[in-house]
Amino acid sequence: MWELIALNRKKSIFVFFLMMVLLILMGAALGYTVSFWIEASSPVNASIIGGIGAFFVWLILSFVSYTMGNDIVIRASRATQITRESYPRLYNIVEEIKIAAMLPAMPEIYIMNDDALNAFATGMHPEKSAIIVTSGLAEVLSRDELQGVVAHEMSHILNRDTAFLTFAGIMLGTITVMADIVLRGTFFASRNRRSKMSSKNNSGGGNIIILLLIVVFAILAPFFAKIFYLSISRKREYLADATAVRLTRYPEGLASALEKISSSTTPVFAANTITAPMYIASPAGSNIEKEDLGSTHPPIVNRIRILRALQNGGGASYRDYQQAYSKYIEKGFANLIPESGLKENKPVIIRDASKEDKSFSQKKTKRDINDLFIADSGYVSIPCSCGLEIKAPAKFGVTDIQCPRCGKILTVPSITAKINKAAEKEEKRSFSSDEVLQYHRMHPGKWESVLCKCGAQLQLSPLFKSQYLVCKSCKRKIEII
Amino acid sequence: MAMLLVMFAFILFVVLIVIIWGVAIYNALVALRNRVKNGWSQIDVQLKRRHDLIPNLVETAKGYMQHEKETFIKVTEARAKAMGASSVKDASAAESELSGALAKLLLTVENYPELKANENFMALQEELTSTENKIAFARQSYNDETMFYNNKIEMFPSSIVAGMFNFKMADFFEIENKAEREAPKVSF
């Protein structure tokens, strides 16, 4: 069933082709200006070559990102991969939705160390995909809410939005760069030609009009390409919400997750214009109530409104979502969900909330995630028989440690080779005094500890107001933001 | 003569189209049947996982819950019964019984705060909650696929091909009792 929906999206494909027309025209315009620039004999041939060339540039870039796009995006977000052992809660939630969606392979799961509340998915095909969640989100959300968010991201993979948006994003990037070259190119061309024209006394009135048209086109094309791109992105968000509800059968989970996300104003550190539409909510954290041509996401209040209507109206099918959309958001708008999704006529019943939500403890998830990052940076955890767990850094250098609670002497296990390598790398990168570390203050007005690169821990008092801190052991400067 | 030849060619053409169309429907039916099978094996994996988890759970809980012998016996019996089920229909019934017994056990856990704080038990609990959810989701997608497949068998014109090649309707995996249906709520 999901395959049918992924295939059936005429509107998005139409807009995609409009973008492609823009791309080829832009290429032709570039060819035309270049022909003036290098004084080629036939500007028409040059523009044909330019148009075809632009298409191939897009094709090659798309191919590159098809084969290795995942890794680039994940590496840029500096996320930590999790496994069933290191963080079972999130792993299990993703696996649950994977089963519901009948996805052929388990997506990779990453946690990004970022206090912003957001998540995104990447992956060119369902066989190889990844879901990235910020640590802030994983801490704050209850099981049902996290399930809703994961289902939304999984829907992007399932509906092939991630691939679609990447290809469209590359197109947008190519158009923008070419428009830039054209604008600069015409500037040079006109300057060169002015001197030649006067010497040859050659009338080029027609050409100048064409060049003027090209300049106007080069100014407008990136603008329109962006509008097209974002219009695809916005409609796909609603569809992903609808699919998520169909998968989890629990609209309230996603609704209250979105509510929590919208109440946070922290922007995502690693987001940019091209990756922004892949997030569950606008990573800039501004798009709560209004929608304009420049928004990457539909307003969160509208999304929540539809979801709540579903929760109270009693259905989780695509048809219910479409009805709620045309009732509350765009009166009478009928084309949000592809027809193959609407065919289903058996009612889809909403399930009840899971019980964990009542006893959900944010403290525990926070500690679990913190442990995850600590383990990832090479700390070893040493459990004491009294129940206390001591975490020793990778370069601790001491073999015995006394338990601070019961006084027992514990042996620090020898550290694995992988972690040693990480420690060595850190050692080799010799520290220069010009390098200023940055530290984002998490809880202003409270005690907080800062970990310097040399391994020393520094305490920030609640009254600390200065912008700089000097590490006591290595004398490095740390900027406090 | 030429007239006959044209007629012959036309009939041949129509027959060819009917054959191609039949093959396409046949292939679609086979693909759907495989999806239903795959869906069932997904449920099966999760049910087995639950069966494996139960002895661990009972072992961990026994030490703390001295007075709940009957509940343990019920869970163990239901598990044995569920493991013996062979058809989809039998499994549906046995698994709903097991879900009920488990839910009852986990409800009584509420009275034992020491057990609830046990690290081992907490990990088991996460696994069990998730397995219950996975069973629910696997059942959900299996039933979706089954409905799709059954509709295709029943509806004209694919019903002709289905009848010719003896495609049988698949059983739904339903949990009858409404109360037991809420098995995924085994969070503690």
Query: What are B147-182's pLDDT values in tens digits?
Result: 888 888 888 888 888 888 888 887 877 765 444 444
Please tell me the predicted confidence (pLDDT) of residue A444.
Answer: 65
The minimal CB distance from B140 to the residues A95, A100, A359 is found for A100
* Averaged pLDDT for residues A363-385: 77
Q: Which of A187-196, A365-374, A436-445 has the lowest mean pLDDT?
A: A187-196
Separation in Å, CA of B39 to nearest CA in chain A: 8
Beta bridge partners of A128: A125
Rg of chain A, C-alpha, whole Å: 27
Residue type, A444: P
- The residue in chain B having the minimum alpha-carbon distance to the alpha carbon of residue A387 is B119
Q: Which of A409-423, A440-454, B36-50, B71-85 has the lowest mean pLDDT?
A: A409-423
Cβ separation B134–A89 shorter than 8 A: no
> Residue B15 above 90 pLDDT?
yes
Please tell me the predicted confidence (pLDDT) of residue A291.
Answer: 64
Mean pLDDT is highest, among A41-50, A97-106, B55-64, for A97-106
The minimal CB distance from B42 to the residues A88, A99, A351 is found for A99
Please tell me the predicted confidence (pLDDT) of residue A273.
Answer: 64
Cβ separation B127–A88 shorter than 8 A: yes
- The residue in chain A having the minimum alpha-carbon distance to the alpha carbon of residue B36 is A102
Active-site residues of A, by number, are 153
In this prediction, residue A69 has a pLDDT band, given cuts at 50, 70 and 90, of low
* Averaged pLDDT for residues A212-224: 87
Cβ separation B46–A99 shorter than 8 A: yes
- State the average pLDDT for chain A: 77
Please tell me the predicted confidence (pLDDT) of residue A94.
Answer: 93
Place of tokens 């009254």: A463
* Averaged pLDDT for residues A196-209: 54
Q: Which of A293-307, A412-426, B127-141 has the lowest mean pLDDT?
A: A412-426
Q: Which of A85-94, A218-227, A290-299, B11-20 has the lowest mean pLDDT?
A: A290-299
Please tell me the predicted confidence (pLDDT) of residue B17.
Answer: 93
In this prediction, residue A358 has a pLDDT band, given cuts at 50, 70 and 90, of low
Percent of all residues in chain A with a pLDDT value above 90, rounded to a whole number? 5
> Residue A123 above 70 pLDDT?
yes
In this prediction, residue A72 has a pLDDT band, given cuts at 50, 70 and 90, of confident
* Averaged pLDDT for residues B76-103: 81
Q: Is A397 left (phi over 0), alpha (psi -120 to 50) or beta?
A: left
Place of tokens 């006109």: A190
Q: Which of A160-164, A214-218, A434-438, A466-470 has the lowest mean pLDDT?
A: A434-438
- The residue in chain A having the minimum alpha-carbon distance to the alpha carbon of residue B117 is A387
Cβ separation A352–B185 shorter than 8 A: yes
Cβ separation A355–B127 shorter than 8 A: no
The Cα A474–Cα B15 span in angstroms is: 86
pTM here is 0.75
Predicted confidence (pLDDT) per residue in A83-112, tens digit: 888 888 899 999 999 988 888 889 999 998
Separation in Å, CA of A50 to nearest CA in chain B: 43
Please tell me the predicted confidence (pLDDT) of residue A428.
Answer: 46
> Residue B12 above 90 pLDDT?
yes
Q: Identify all chain A residues contacting B116, using CB atoms and an 8 Å cutoff.
A: none
Q: Identify all chain A residues contacting B136, using CB atoms and an 8 Å cutoff.
A: 351
* Averaged pLDDT for residues B58-69: 79
The minimal CB distance from B187 to the residues A93, A101, A356 is found for A356
* Averaged pLDDT for residues A399-425: 66
Please tell me the predicted confidence (pLDDT) of residue A152.
Answer: 93
Rounded to whole angstroms, what are the CA distances from A117 to A94, A136, A288? 18, 5, 14
The minimal CB distance from A92 to the residues B126, B182, B187 is found for B126
Place of tokens 């519901």: A100
Q: Which of A148-157, A365-374, B6-15 has the lowest mean pLDDT?
A: A365-374
Cβ separation A89–B126 shorter than 8 A: yes
Give the pair of three-digit tokens for residue A366: 């926070």
> Residue B185 above 80 pLDDT?
no
A96 shares contact with chain B (CB less than 8 Å): yes
Q: Which of A28-32, A53-57, B111-115 has the lowest mean pLDDT?
A: B111-115
Q: Which of A146-150, A401-405, A432-436 has the lowest mean pLDDT?
A: A432-436
Q: Identify all chain A residues contacting B142, using CB atoms and an 8 Å cutoff.
A: none
Q: Name the strands in the sheet holding A108-112, side by side, starting at the edge strand that comes first in the sequence.
A: A79-81, A108-112, A128-134, A119-125
In this prediction, residue B47 has a pLDDT band, given cuts at 50, 70 and 90, of confident
Give the pair of three-digit tokens for residue A427: 């050692």
Half-sphere exposure of A112 (CA within 13 A, CB side): 25
Collapse the DSSP code of B177 into the 3-class scheme (helix H, G, I; strand E, B; otherwise coil) and give the result: coil
B46 shares contact with chain A (CB less than 8 Å): yes
Percent of all residues in chain A with a pLDDT value above 70, rounded to a whole number? 74
Please tell me the predicted confidence (pLDDT) of residue A334.
Answer: 63
> Residue A225 above 70 pLDDT?
yes
- The residue in chain A having the minimum alpha-carbon distance to the alpha carbon of residue B45 is A99
> Residue A420 above 70 pLDDT?
no
In this prediction, residue A199 has a pLDDT band, given cuts at 50, 70 and 90, of very low
Please tell me the predicted confidence (pLDDT) of residue B179.
Answer: 43
Rounded to whole angstroms, what are the CA distances from A51 to A48, B2, B43? 5, 52, 52
The Cα A224–Cα A219 span in angstroms is: 10
- State the average pLDDT for chain B: 81
The minimal CB distance from B148 to the residues A1, A354, A355 is found for A1
The Cα A97–Cα A473 span in angstroms is: 48
In this prediction, residue B184 has a pLDDT band, given cuts at 50, 70 and 90, of very low
Phi, psi (deg, nearest 5) at residue A468: -125, 160
Interface of A with B in 224-263 (CB under 8 A): 247, 249
Using an 8 Å Cβ cutoff, are A132 and A107 in contact? no
> Residue A472 above 90 pLDDT?
no
Cβ separation A351–B136 shorter than 8 A: yes
Among A328, A357, A327, A339, which Cα is nearest to A250's?
Answer: A357
> Residue A432 above 50 pLDDT?
no
Q: Which of A260-264, A322-326, A446-450, B100-104 has the lowest mean pLDDT?
A: A446-450
- The residue in chain B having the minimum alpha-carbon distance to the alpha carbon of residue A317 is B144
> Residue A425 above 60 pLDDT?
no
In this prediction, residue A339 has a pLDDT band, given cuts at 50, 70 and 90, of low
Separation in Å, CA of B16 to nearest CA in chain A: 27
A93 shares contact with chain B (CB less than 8 Å): yes
The minimal CB distance from A96 to the residues B35, B134, B148 is found for B134
Best residue of B48, B102, B140 to probe chain A, by most A CBs closer than 10 Å: B140
Q: Identify all chain A residues contacting B137, using CB atoms and an 8 Å cutoff.
A: 96-97, 99-100, 247
The Cα A36–Cα A39 span in angstroms is: 5
Q: What is the distance, to the nearest Å, from the Cα of residue A15 to the centroid of all Cα atoms in its chain?
A: 22
B159 shares contact with chain A (CB less than 8 Å): no
Please tell me the predicted confidence (pLDDT) of residue B9.
Answer: 92
> Residue A149 above 90 pLDDT?
yes
Q: Which of A76-80, A314-318, B175-179 has the lowest mean pLDDT?
A: B175-179
* Averaged pLDDT for residues A345-364: 67
